[in-house]
Amino acid sequence: MERLAPLREKIDALDNQMLALLNARVKTVLEIAEIKQQTQACAFVPSREQEIYARLIQNNPGPLGQDALVRIFREVVSASRAMEGPVTVAYLGPRATFTHRAALCYFGGSVKDLPFPTIQAVFEEVERDRVDFGVVPIENSTEGVVNHTLDLFLDSQVQIFGEIMQEIEQHLLASHHDITQVQCVCSHPHALAQCKDFLRVHMPGIALRDVESTAHAAEMARDNPHIAAIASELAAQLYHLVILKRRIEDHPHNATRFLIVSKQTPPRGQHHRTSLLLGVQDKAGALYEILRPFSERKINLTRIESHPSRRKAWEYFFYIDAEGHVEDPPLQSALDEIRRFAVFIKILGAYPAVSGRSA
């Protein structure tokens, strides 16, 4: 114990130094906020925050790991940003869903996050200026595009402000440590399907029950010792559950891409993605006419998705993600050419692009 005392004193001194530095950082942030208000600049600049994390990772000598470093500074940045003014975020709820986790990973914990029961409700909150941002799923690596999100973009005035990729890590949760007590496993149908091999091998004969969300399953497990839930680690934290088995999903690289929607336009950064909807005539070669201008200008298309318009039988539009900003000359030139024969073009947003798993 005598050896611990000086080390604890050293920890206390370091904590006081960090406290002083954190307050100095916040004071500088408030100076920046005043300039932004005078110039009407966007308060939230995700590309700048990503630059902060990248710089810290590059300069990190260890032993603190990369993921832990980003998590810590995301909360520092989020708390600092909150000093500039409240940020409100609507997301497809309930709490503890993967969309909720995506919202927290993108904005940090110092935001007012509000769950809503449908993707349409999230869009409406943003459109009516009741929140600053919305977070909705757009595609899953195994289940494909979220069609309802695409449908809403057709008539909505919101635009894509950013994106975040999240690995879908499924865990078996319960209110105790004894897996032999489990008589029923509950979760969203997609989560149960993603874990069918684990359930077949390790929990044969256990009843499976579909519920409306992984969060509701976690709530049921909290209240009944004979129920286990398949849900996220965030659900375990929020509902005070024990993780009986980690990473029980059949495909370990399953990921979902979420969009950040807003009526604000994100500031330009270094790496952008432009998303758009294209309506074409119902004739032979229509798809070729769309793709040729991109190909000739060597513009990489990271996604092409055909989708029924739901306005007219057998009428389709294409959802396209293109690398680059809509104001870049090659992309601008391609769109000018496509406008000559497209039925309609709607730019959904030009926003900072990310790839891979967000920390």
Q: Which domains does the chain have, with CATH numbers?
A: 4-83 (1.20.59.10), 89-103+111-168+257-262 (3.40.190.10), 172-245 (3.40.190.10), 272-352 (3.30.70.260)
**pLDDT at 107 > cutoff 70:** yes
Alpha helical stretches, state H, the chain: 4-39, 46-59, 66-84, 98-107, 119-127, 147-155, 189-194, 196-202, 214-223, 233-238, 286-296, 329-338
The pLDDT of residue 359 is 37
What does the alpha-carbon distance between residue 22 and residue 9 come to, in Å, rounded to a whole number?
20
Lowest model confidence (mean pLDDT) among 150-164, 186-200, 206-220, 266-280: 266-280
Lowest model confidence (mean pLDDT) among 44-48, 131-135, 203-207: 44-48
The pLDDT of residue 41 is 67
Task: Write out the two tokens for 107.
Answer: 């904005």
The pLDDT of residue 230 is 97
What does the alpha-carbon distance between residue 21 and residue 26 come to, in Å, rounded to a whole number?
9
Q: Which residues are catalytic?
A: 256, 258
The pLDDT of residue 39 is 73
Which position has the higher pLDDT, 263 or 35?
263
What does the alpha-carbon distance between residue 164 and residue 340 come to, in Å, rounded to a whole number?
34
In terms of Cα–Cα distance, which of 345, 194, 198, 349 is closest to 280? 345
Q: What is the dihedral of CA 124, 188, 243, 201, to 10 degrees?
A: -160
Lowest model confidence (mean pLDDT) among 19-23, 27-31, 331-335: 27-31
Lowest model confidence (mean pLDDT) among 40-44, 162-166, 172-176: 40-44
Q: At 83, is the pLDDT very low, low, confident or very high (cuts 50, 70, 90)?
A: confident
Q: At 305, is the pLDDT very low, low, confident or very high (cuts 50, 70, 90)?
A: confident
Antiparallel, parallel or unpaired: β 344-352 and 301-308: unpaired
Q: Answer whether 0.85 is exceeded by the pTM.
A: no
What does the alpha-carbon distance between residue 134 and residue 160 come to, in Å, rounded to a whole number?
9
Angle at 212 between CA 207 and CA 217, to 5 degrees: 55
Tell me what percent of the residues of the chain surpass a pLDDT of 70.
Answer: 95
